[in-house]
């Protein structure tokens, strides 16, 4: 018996027959949404979401998917995600299933360089604080391949952060001020920045987070945007120090053909840096969806 890992208590096996039934595209089969198996699967997934996303620890995993080919995984990931809500586009081209892998770029590079295109760790954040419109409530990662080394997920519960900031109400107030996130979009006509607070008060002393510091710094570097104040910088430094505190981090590694669903409202996430191997099977590849709850 090894030491229990954070993912151990929230890992659920999906039956092989059920998955194959969902992926069956024979012309005589009814649409997936009308199949009893999918309806049951949806019910179970929503129960996991109620318990672990609305509740704790803010994430859960599906396993038992090792028998899927990569092609089948690319069909399964959006199907499973759609059981929880509506899929949101992840770029200006409307991509609903995005590959997260090392594209050899740097975070914040050029007009479009994004965290999900790098192999670096750190920079804990929420997903999509920078896209106009609806921010995903949840996102999912389907692990097709793991890296040769590194690439563990690092998760921090927002409630732990705000509790630790409780003795600095001035910093909490500062984090509730709207800031400009660079949109990371070079589509002609697209806005350069989107404005939202890092901490959005959702009532009763709870918050929803929107955070990726690099995008905020790029956003406030635009000529038309006022620079960040000293108070804002102090608040981000305090937040980053807490995000880097191992006592607040849950760190674990997805196995190949596991899919994790992470609450994007109240969990900040990042990863440890990773190094890919020379062959495709040793290059980290995650398939990501962004989900808004109905
Ligand atoms: Fe992310």
Cα–ligand 1 centroid distance for 116 (angstroms): 6
Cα–ligand 1 centroid distance for 124 (angstroms): 8
Cβ atoms < 10 Å from Cβ of 143: 23
Cα–ligand 1 centroid distance for 288 (angstroms): 9
Cα–ligand 1 centroid distance for 26 (angstroms): 36
Range of 150's domain?
A: 1-293
Q: Please give the pLDDT value at position 106.
A: 83
What percent of the chain lies above the pLDDT cut of 70? 100
Q: Please give the pLDDT value at position 1.
A: 60
Cα–ligand 1 centroid distance for 13 (angstroms): 24
Q: Please give the pLDDT value at position 116.
A: 87
CATH number, residue 259: 3.60.130.10
Cα–ligand 1 centroid distance for 66 (angstroms): 24
Cα–ligand 1 centroid distance for 290 (angstroms): 10
CA distance 48 to 44: 6
Cα–ligand 1 centroid distance for 72 (angstroms): 23
242-274 pLDDT tens trace: 999 999 999 999 999 999 999 999 999 999 999
What is the average pLDDT across 215-236? 96
What is the average pLDDT across 47-76? 98
Cα–ligand 1 centroid distance for 59 (angstroms): 14
Q: Please give the pLDDT value at position 84.
A: 97
Cα–ligand 1 centroid distance for 259 (angstroms): 15
DSSP 84: T
Looking at the predicted structure, is the pLDDT value of residue 209 above 70?
yes
Look up the pTM and report it: 0.96
Cα–ligand 1 centroid distance for 11 (angstroms): 20
Cα–ligand 1 centroid distance for 29 (angstroms): 36
CA distances from 201 to 44, 92, 177, 204, 266 (A): 30, 29, 11, 8, 12
Cα–ligand 1 centroid distance for 27 (angstroms): 37
Number of domain units in the chain:
1
Q: Please give the pLDDT value at position 217.
A: 97
Cα–ligand 1 centroid distance for 279 (angstroms): 25
Cα–ligand 1 centroid distance for 139 (angstroms): 9
CA distance 31 to 40: 15
Cα–ligand 1 centroid distance for 100 (angstroms): 9
Cβ atoms < 10 Å from Cβ of 93: 8
DSSP 125: B
Cα–ligand 1 centroid distance for 218 (angstroms): 17
Cβ atoms < 10 Å from Cβ of 19: 21
């Amino acid at each position: 018996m090894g030491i229990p890992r954070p993912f151990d208590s929230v890992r659920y096996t999906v039956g092989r027959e059920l998955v194959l039934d969902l992926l069956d595209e024979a012309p005589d089969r009814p649409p997936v949404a009308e199949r009893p198996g999918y309806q049951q699967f949806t019910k179970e997934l929503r129960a996991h979401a109620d318990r672990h996303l609305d509740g704790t620890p803010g994430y859960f995993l599906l396993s038992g998917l090792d028998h899927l080919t990569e092609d089948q995984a690319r069909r399964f990931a959006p199907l499973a995600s759609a059981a929880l809500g509506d899929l949101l586009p992840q770029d200006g081209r409307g991509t609903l299933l995005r590959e997260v892998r090392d594209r050899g770029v740097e975070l914040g590079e050029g007009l479009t360089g994004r965290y999900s295109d790098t192999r670096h760790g750190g920079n804990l954040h929420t997903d999509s604080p920078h896209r106009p419109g609806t921010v995903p409530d949840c996102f999912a990662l389907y692990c097709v391949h793991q890296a040769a080394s590194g690439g563990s997920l690092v998760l921090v519960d927002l409630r732990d952060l705000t509790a630790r900031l409780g003795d600095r109400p001035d910093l909490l107030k500062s984090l509730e001020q709207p800031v400009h996130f660079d949109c990371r979009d070079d589509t002609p006509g697209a806005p350069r920045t989107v404005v939202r607070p890092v901490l959005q008060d959702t009532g009763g002393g709870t918050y929803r987070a929107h955070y990726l510091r690099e995008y905020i710094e790029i956003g406030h570097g635009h000529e038309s945007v006022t620079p960040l104040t000293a108070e804002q910088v102090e608040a981000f430094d305090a937040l980053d120090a807490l995000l880097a505190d191992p006592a607040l981090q849950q760190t674990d590694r997805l196995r190949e053909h596991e899919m994790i669903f992470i609450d994007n409202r109240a969990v900040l996430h990042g990863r440890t840096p990773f190094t890919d191997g020379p062959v495709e099977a040793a290059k980290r590849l995650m398939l990501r969806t962004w989900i808004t709850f109905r």
